[in-house]
Amino acid sequence: MKNRKIYCLNPISEIGLKKFRGGYSITDKIEDAHGVLVRSADMLAMDFPKSLRAIARAGAGVNNIPLEKCSEMGIVVFNTPGANANGVKELVIAGLLLASRNISGGIEWVRKNSGGENIAKDAEKAKKAFAGREILGKKLGVIGLGAIGVMVANTAISLGMEVYGYDPYISVGSAWNLKRDVHHSENVDELYEKCDYITVHVPATPSTRGMIDAEALAKMKKGVKILNFARDTLVSENDLAAALESGHVSVYVTDFPTAKSVKMKNAVVLPHLGASTAESEDNCAVMAACELQEYLDNGNIKHS
Ligand code: MLT
């Protein structure tokens, strides 16, 4: 009878843990684990036990896992692409509206002024200061057309935006799922030159590090609004801060609070909330647990 141990570096949904059938137990130490479940909150340490055969990341990004070390040791790494894509997509759409309608400024204003007796009248006067723009008919550039990028592009089409997508490595599945109305840009410069909004949905790799830098920003339209719900490393923060300061970029919305981003002019910064929904957490936990078990039991690999 097998006795396989699973270590969870971060808590995952109960519904995922319940997927482990007989012969599995959850251990509270990595030393004797056969499988590890991890989310994005912490970096996974490098000293893996000899018993470890696979790491499942309940989420998409694997930048908190030492991949080279894993391949040296023959440890398979899975992620759960698509399992939290709808959760992230919904926050990105909220980000488009946050970038357009001065929602955070308006909420802040009401909070500060709510003590006054004439709040309703005063708020009328504040309307002009918080006036925004509509997204209908505006151009959105989506860089990276994986599960999330495709969903964002398709939803933006439904909201009446003109959408430009760019992804030199688009998969057949993504191309199939993408609405036909999305213009597929051959090069990223087309998207930089044309779009009013740009949203990035690529993984954090050495080649995407700092891709939104001074050179890329200079190619973008004056007043462009940038959204980053993918990874903080994609953006060169010094260059972006300068572009926000000069007004070349009018708004930056992100769910990566860093020491720099929280101080940038016209930045709307949230905690990393993209996949923080009950539905996404359950989907990721179930998919990660099932795939881990499938590998440990039968050696089958789906997403690595
Ligand atoms: C992901 O990589 O799946 C998302 O950033 C959400 C997360 O795991 O925090």
Supply the CATH number for residue 288's domain. Answer: 3.40.50.720
Distance 119 CA to ligand 1 centre (A): 40
Same domain, 229 and 243: yes
Q: For the chain, how many structural domains are there in total? A: 2
- For residue 40, name the pLDDT band (cuts at 50, 70, 90): confident
Domain that residue 282 falls in: 4-83+278-298
Same domain, 241 and 260: yes
* pLDDT above 70 for 25: yes
> Per the domain annotation, does 73 fall within a domain?
yes
Distance 274 CA to ligand 1 centre (A): 7
> Per the domain annotation, does 303 fall within a domain?
no
- For residue 18, name the pLDDT band (cuts at 50, 70, 90): very high
User: Ligand 1, closest atom to CA 231?
Assistant: 5
Same domain, 69 and 90: no
pTM of the predicted protein model:
0.93
Distance 42 CA to ligand 1 centre (A): 12
Of 23-37, 116-130, 165-179, 205-219, least confident by mean pLDDT is 116-130
Same domain, 138 and 244: yes
Rounded distance between C-alpha atoms, residue 142 and residue 140, angstroms: 6
- Ligand 1 shell residues, CB under 6 Å: 39-40, 59-61, 84, 272, 274-275
Sequence-separated (6 or more) residues with CB below 8 Å from residue 94 = none
Same domain, 160 and 222: yes
- For residue 116, name the pLDDT band (cuts at 50, 70, 90): confident
Pocket test for ligand 1, best of 272, 276, 303 (most atoms within 8 A of CB): 272
Copy the structure tokens of residue 115. 């003590």
Distance 142 CA to ligand 1 centre (A): 18
Distance 55 CA to ligand 1 centre (A): 15
ipTM: 0.91
Same domain, 134 and 177: yes
Burial of 34-57, coded b for 16+ CB within 10 Å and e otherwise, reads bbbbbbbeeebeeebeeebbbbbb
> Per the domain annotation, does 304 fall within a domain?
no
Same domain, 136 and 260: yes
- Rounded to the nearest integer, the mean pLDDT of the chain is 95
